[in-house]
Structure 1
Amino acid sequence: MATVAAVADRRCAGLGRAQLMEAASALMTERGSIDVSIHDIARRSGVSSALIKYHFGHKDGLLLALLEKIVGDSILRLETLVQRDMPAPEKLRLHILGVLNVYYRYPYLNRLMHYLLSSSEEARRRISVNIVKPMLAAQAAILEQGKAAGAFRDVNPMSFYFHVIGASDHLFYGLFAMKYAFGIEEMGESLKQSYGEDLVRTILNGIAAKPG
């Protein structure tokens, strides 16, 4: 049976891990960049920089854990959505808007994902196993439900995944184009909502058994 001291030690260790991830997230959001140092993160979190090595091995390990936490929470919500008693088109609508909301809430997410995918084979493996595969499986379940109900045509789950994620990712990855090509200074709530509804209509009409 664990002693009170051992339980307290584990709780403190967990708090240190969470503090470090929260500090990294806050710094990347404020700076609009993923270029933050170990010392910046430690200073912001109020814990020793040695804890980054202890908990994550190195800074990239921390960033990967942060990515898995952010997207992992989104996948849990998606898996809950799969089980809900509602039509498949409405499930996909909520899912697509949810993906956009995650990118909007964490404006560094696209840059972080691209950086980690190019950083190491281990990062690519973990992202594929812990993020891509669970999301693909949940999306495939909704697509299958819609097909069985006669709402969707036969859709390749891999193609659907890249359509949704690509359309969401590039919107935020290409924000510079908004300023110089469209005269839009920043992504606001109303623009995100408008884009989201347009994206939902485009995708659902594209996969509908009877378009329109």
Structure 2
Amino acid sequence: MAANMRGNSLKDRQAQSAGSDVGTRDQLLIAAGELMTERRSTDVSLSDIAAKSGLNSALVKYYFGNKAGLMVALLRKVMGTGIAQLKSLPDMNIPPEQKLRIHISGMVKSYYQFPYINRLMHQLLAEDSEKYGQLIAEEFSKPVAEAQRRILEQGVEAGVFRPVNPMLFYFQLVGSCDHLFYSKHQLLHVFGVHEITDQLRQRFVEHLYRVITEGLLVRPG
């Protein structure tokens, strides 16, 4: 559901974008995202971001106004492409079951790449719910919920899904993705999992799709 920021090393990207205004902005976003992923925490300071990017922390204020502005820009960067693709998914000429599988796979991939997504939204809301509440809802949460609602309704109309509450479905899927990919310590100390690999990501996609569709599919008789 989102573009991949895991390309070359930060040092390589800095060399490639030296002297580029857009490149400098992206370096700060990439550094912030990588720190949050490495630490499994959104608690990163401007000095942390500056050290990771090799840039002056004053540039955050220059490009984003403040740390919250950087967080919003980071969410837009990592989620923008995926949100745009998701909006078009319900209109694709494929069965509802296939749309659901594509959506689940995209959601899991987004949280695998960017496990801080939900926590970053919560941090913004904690900082100023009035200022960021509507922005987060309109740009990130509502498009996901609306696409899910349409896919579920299409499945009901096609006679393959039973009716379910779209709100509860939203929290089931988003909560599952957020909890697995943010729960580094539980994975290690409860299940002995040291790293979330791409193989585990794929197994999680299959698990979610199977469990969710078992509850959704209309059974003969």
TM-score (norm 2): 0.80
| Alpha-carbon distance in 2 for matches of 1:183, 1:48 | 39
Checking the alignment, whether the CA contact within 8 Å between 2:40 and 2:184 is kept in structure 1 is no
- SS of the equivalent of 1:118 reads helix
Deviation string 1:89-138 (CA, Å, 9 cap, x unpaired) is 11111111111111111233343233233222122222111111111111
Does 2:209 match 1:200?
yes
Match of 1:4 in 2: none
| Aligned twin of 1:183 | 192
Task: Render the CA deviation track for 1:141-168: whole Å, top value 9, x for unaligned.
Answer: 2112111111111222211111110111
Change (3 A) 1:27 1:207: same
Equivalent AA in structure 1 for residue 105 of structure 2: L
Counterpart CA distance in 1 for 2:56 and 2:213 is 49
Gap regions ≥5 residues in structure 1: 1-10
Any conservation in 1 of the 2:50–2:57 contact (CA below 8 Å)? Answer: yes
Provide the rounded CA distance (Å) in 2 between the counterparts of 1:174 and 1:25: 17
Residue identity in the other structure for 1:135: V
The 2-side partners of 1:40 and 1:180 are apart by 28
How far apart, CA to CA, are the structure 2 residues paired with 1:110 and 1:133?
A: 14
Matched, 1:134 2:152: no
Q: CA deviation at 1:189?
A: 1.6
Q: Distance in 2 between matches of 1:54 and 1:178?
A: 39
Q: Secondary structure at the match of 2:28?
A: helix
| CA–CA separation in structure 2 for the residues paired with 1:101 and 1:157 | 21
Helix, strand or coil for the counterpart of 2:94?
coil
1:24–1:112 Cα change, 3 Å: same
Contact 1:178 1:185 in 2 (8 A): yes
Q: Give 1:13 deviation, angstroms.
A: 4.5
Moved more, 64-73 or 45-54: 45-54
- Output aligned runs, 1:62-101, within 5 Å: 62-101=70-109
Pairing 1:148–2:157 present: yes
Contact 1:110 1:172 in 2 (8 A): no
Q: Which segment drifts farther, 181-190 or 104-113? A: 104-113
How far apart, CA to CA, are the structure 1 residues paired with 2:62 and 2:51?
16
SS of structure 1 residue aligned to 2:154: helix
If asked which structure has higher relative contact order (CA below 8 Å, sep 6+), I would say 2
